[in-house]
Amino acid sequence: MTQKADSSSKVKDYMLFLTLWLLLFALSITALCLGRYGIPISDVLDVLSSKLLGKPSNVNQTIENIILNLRLPRIIASIVIGGSLALAGAAYQGIFRNPLVSPDILGVSSGAGLGAALAILFHLGTFGLQISSLAGGILAVMITSAIPKFMKNSSTIILVLGGIIVNGMMVSLLGLAKYMMDTENKLAEITYWLLGSLAKISKGDIWTISIPMVISMLLLLAIRWRVNILALGESEAKNLGVHTEFYRGLVIVLSTVLTACAVCVSGTIGWIGLIVPHLGRMLIGPDNKRLFPLSIILGGGFLLMMDTLSRIVSPAELPISILTGLVGAPFYFWILHKQRMNMT
């Protein structure tokens, strides 16, 4: 009976993952068609097939340029960044054993945003912005993690409160950096950038962020079973022979790299790292071996949907964080209500 139940569970998981991949593919094709300049799906499929098969396309050069150089990079970036933020949120929640933890609450996003703002302020260029974002995110999470040790209280409440303290400090420093900026150019640039947008994404940006993101994703997926053990608690994990400090530090660094790389090209995009892991647990349970890959798919699809909406809901493109907040807040309330109903 147990073997049959395990086999049935695996079949359900495979069907769920297959369905989500097909939905993500369909959503990607839809996103290529939608925008200020509508493109028929036949033209989209013609251009994509011509590139994959190496045959000439029957579509004019303008439409081909829109598909390959404008919309396709945004779609790829949306999936990679959304998946990275969702995976980082699931990893943080797993090792800290707290479903309220996310890159936003721990101060990683605001720290990375501060680093990026300083790079813009001092004209450090694209590479300098990426390095500065990474440094800011790592610094923020290091301070947050150090607060419970300083207080000699390792409870999750102290961790969350520490994250609130660090986030507030980073936001204040970010406000100071904005105050020092040139009001004609830099202030407007950083203000819009902090609201989150993929409007200026390029193929070069994708290559730059994809390498560290993919490496971090693969490493997190490789050690996801150890996150299950860390979630049992410090003493239980040590009794099972897991080097808790090493793996906790590794997960924090990898998750911070994912968040900082996302922030350095898209700005700060909230809610994904918080709500997507919750949705994943509702679909597949708390096992991180299955939750981590599921979070990547769900996060990528969610951000792709939000980015597509940002391009079509108004004549002027909306910042993504506005939409993720408007959708994420009531959606998170619904998740909490659903979980409460299941527990009663």
Could you read off the pLDDT of 249-264 as tens digits, one per residue? 888 889 888 888 888 7
Supply the pLDDT for residue 343.
Answer: 53
Distances (CA, A) of 277 to 50, 94, 191, 294, 341: 37, 10, 28, 8, 19
- pLDDT digit string, tens, across residues 70-113: 899 999 999 999 999 999 999 988 887 777 778 777 788 888 88
Question: In the chain, where are the structural domains located?
Answer: 77-343
Supply the pLDDT for residue 23.
Answer: 95
> CA 79 to CA 211: how far, in whole Å?
14
> Dihedral through CA 74, CA 76, CA 78, CA 82, nearest 10?
-170
Supply the pLDDT for residue 84.
Answer: 93
pTM passes above 0.85:
yes
Three-state DSSP class for residue 160: helix
Q: Check pLDDT > 90 for residue 29.
A: yes
Supply the pLDDT for residue 4.
Answer: 56
Supply the pLDDT for residue 133.
Answer: 80
> CA 256 to CA 253: how far, in whole Å?
5
* Higher-pLDDT residue of 319, 130: 319
> CA 261 to CA 279: how far, in whole Å?
24
Q: Which CATH class is domain 77-343?
A: mainly alpha
- pLDDT digit string, tens, across residues 135-177: 888 888 888 888 888 887 766 677 778 888 898 898 898 888 8
Instruction: Provide the pLDDT confidence category of residue 295 given band limits of 50, 70 and 90.
Output: very high
Mean pLDDT computed over 182-193: 71
> CA 314 to CA 291: how far, in whole Å?
35
Residue 228 CB contacts under 8 Å (≥ 6 apart), including other chains:
94, 287, 288, 289
Q: Where are the beta strands (DSSP E) in 187-322?
A: none
* Higher-pLDDT residue of 194, 306: 306
Is 179 exposed, middle or buried, given 0-12, 13-18 or 19+ CB atoms closer than 10 A? exposed
In this structure, how many other beta carbons lie within 10 angstroms of the beta carbon of residue 50?
Answer: 15
Region of 213 please: left (phi>0), alpha (psi -120 to 50) or beta.
alpha
Residue 88 CB contacts under 8 Å (≥ 6 apart), including other chains:
103, 108, 255, 256, 258, 259, 273
In this structure, how many other beta carbons lie within 10 angstroms of the beta carbon of residue 195?
Answer: 17
Distances (CA, A) of 228 to 91, 233, 236: 10, 10, 11
